[in-house]
Structure 1
Amino acid sequence: MASVPCVGIGWRQPHYETLLAERPALGFIEVHSENFFADGGITLAVLEAGREAYDLSLHGVGLALGSAAGLDGWHLERLARLVERVQPRWVSDHACFARVGSGLHAADLLPIPFNDESLALMASHVGQVQQRLGRQMLVENISAYVGWAGDTLAEPEFFNELTRRSGCGLLLDVNNLFVNARNAGFDAGEAAREAMRWIDAIQPGSVGEIHLAGHCELADGLVIDDHGSRVRDEVWRVYEHAVRRLGPVPTLIEWDTAVPELGVLLAEAGRARAVQS
């Protein structure tokens, strides 16, 4: 856990040149690992330039750690080669499944059941990844729009046990907590309190990074974690609670759709830094 404020932004293609030219004051930058799996080329050269300027977080979307079909060996090897090349500060992926059968990939972050069998599978796969990378990884809680009948573990309990068994850390996505609570039927105020209760149930020392993002609410009431707007006020309140309980954990402003000017992301990062301070 960091002892001083540390806030970063997701570094997306529209801001590659601007960030390198302006070098704004940031604690780190984060990219999606899979975008840099090629052995060479301009994209990888840009990433290496970014790594020279900032600490780097590699955030993956394709390991599918909870898939009963097992890990994709090719994907893990590409990730390992990238990690060795750029030496990021953090490596992360999601607590989800996506692979089925003989390698079919859903290209989505699908929810896992929260039970002992799923926990054992996830811990085994996380252990395999960490052994190959030679380092700890962080696992993120996802936004989920469907669930499994017969869950026997509360989600925070699942993550507490996962971090204990595997030695991984938790990437705590605060917006996902709020989105899931809203979709469970809570109004905005109670959803924020539900998210705070989730945070209170987590082992504080297990959280290695926090994500903040925007979401949208559809006409039918469904709330979507689209990473396409500023962080909502209710989510900021949950984040304030997280900082009070967990300390100034490195925090990322995540923005993936309708990406605005760099200054908008920097303003959001400034707000997170103010909360940490």
Structure 2
Amino acid sequence: MNSTHYPQDCEHGCIGVGLRHEHYTQALAQKTCSIDFVELHAENFFAQGGPSRHLLEEIRSLYPVSIHGTSMGLGSLAGVNERYLNRFTQLDNDVNPIYISDHACFTWGDDSGKPLHAGDLLPLKFDTQTLNATVSNIDRVQQAIGRQLLVENVVTYFSFSNNIFAEAEFLAEVAHRTQCGLLVDLNNILVNMHNQKVQDITVNALKWLSYLPQGHINELHLAGSSLPQMGDIIIDDHSQPVSEQCWQLYTLAIQHFPKAATLIEWDNDLPTWDVLLKEAGKARDIRKAAGVSLRKAIP
């Protein structure tokens, strides 16, 4: 696959959307200038050749691409599965994406010497053992791909009572020890705090962000979820527009991380392509407004 030249400024405050199969036709019909890149899920394009690889070449001919893994399980004590890592690395070599990322979660285990995949992004215990395993796994992946990996925080529906670190502290230490990048999902922060019944969610979300090393924040994810019944937990289904609370947090977060790319995630009950692009346009408008205020604040 031929190398694609990406604009030099694509990685500085650019706006993208998650490209899912329902929108392939519209996205490929004509390149839109309202987005700077698209995100693809790695596992959908592991095949060597065939329709998926042809589709990937078509997408890359129009848009810069970010590759987002969903099965790495970077916090797994059993390590990252070698076969999976080889396929992930090959895809990275073929695509040369602007970003490549996966999650700080537990996924891989061992069943009588055979690798076992959980099929979900399971929560981590934030202790020294998990920290060391996560650091080791990220180092291994970054050595394999020969570049920086971005690591994303996840939604968790329960937490361990004997955690040593808070989640943001854990991620900050991982970034410090591995020099990985961080992909901060703002919606995941808000969902976790809602489900944990945290008071003053926006204030505490900003405190969460303040633990992170500014220079390691490469990307922000924005999403929405179905509204729960009164008193219920939020299920992070990515089936709605970005919530107003998430937009509010985004407006504050980009003051701290102005160079981070932004991605709109929408995975279920997908809207039309135009509606998805409007969400990206809203993010761009917020960035522009924040950029004006930032420049005015500089003497």
Task: Give the TM-score category using the shorter length.
Answer: over 0.9
1:147-197 alpha-carbon deviations (Å, 9 max, x no partner) = 11211111111111101111100000000000001001136xx22222111
1:179-258 mapped onto 2 (5 Å cutoff) = 179-186=191-198, 190-219=200-229, 220-258=231-269
Partner of 2:270: 259
Structure number with larger C-alpha Rg: 2
C-alpha distance in 2, partners of 1:218/1:240?
24
TM-score relative to the length of structure 1: 0.96
CA deviation after TM superposition for structure 1 residue 226, in Å: 0.8
Identify the match of residue 49 of structure 1 among 51, 58, 69. 58
- Tell me if the contact between 1:170 and 1:206 (Cα under 8 Å) persists in the aligned partners: yes
Gaps of 5+ in 1: none
From the superposition, tell whether residues 3 and 15 of structure 1 become closer, same or farther in structure 2 (CA, over 3 Å): closer
C-alpha distance in 2, partners of 1:248/1:88?
18
Give the secondary structure class of the aligned counterpart of 2:168.
Answer: helix
Partner of 1:67: 76
C-alpha distance in 2, partners of 1:133/1:8?
23
- Tell me if the contact between 2:175 and 2:181 (Cα under 8 Å) persists in the aligned partners: yes
From the superposition, tell whether residues 81 and 156 of structure 1 become closer, same or farther in structure 2 (CA, over 3 Å): same
- Tell me if the contact between 1:243 and 1:275 (Cα under 8 Å) persists in the aligned partners: no
Segments ≥4 residues shifted beyond 6 Å = none
C-alpha distance in 1, partners of 2:286/2:12?
12
Give the secondary structure class of the aligned counterpart of 2:120.
Answer: strand
Give the secondary structure class of the aligned counterpart of 2:76.
Answer: coil
Partner of 2:186: 174
Give the secondary structure class of the aligned counterpart of 1:103.
Answer: strand
- Tell me if the contact between 1:7 and 1:252 (Cα under 8 Å) persists in the aligned partners: yes
C-alpha distance in 2, partners of 1:103/1:222?
32
- Tell me if the contact between 1:2 and 1:248 (Cα under 8 Å) persists in the aligned partners: no
Q: Structure 1 counterpart of 2:183, which letter?
A: L
Structure of greater relative contact order (alpha carbons < 8 Å, 6+ residues apart): 1
- Tell me if the contact between 2:109 and 2:117 (Cα under 8 Å) persists in the aligned partners: yes
C-alpha distance in 2, partners of 1:135/1:4?
18
CA RMSD in angstroms, aligned pairs only: 1.4
CA deviation after TM superposition for structure 1 residue 66, in Å: 0.9
C-alpha distance in 1, partners of 2:50/2:176?
40
Identity of matched residues, % = 40
Identify the match of residue 33 of structure 1 among 32, 42, 49. 42
TM-score relative to the length of structure 2: 0.89
C-alpha distance in 2, partners of 1:243/1:137?
21
Partner of 2:293: none
Give the secondary structure class of the aligned counterpart of 1:216.
Answer: coil
CA deviation after TM superposition for structure 1 residue 248, in Å: 3.8
C-alpha distance in 2, partners of 1:14/1:226?
17
Q: Structure 2 counterpart of 1:232, which letter?
A: S
CA deviation after TM superposition for structure 1 residue 4, in Å: 5.0
From the superposition, tell whether residues 207 and 115 of structure 1 become closer, same or farther in structure 2 (CA, over 3 Å): same
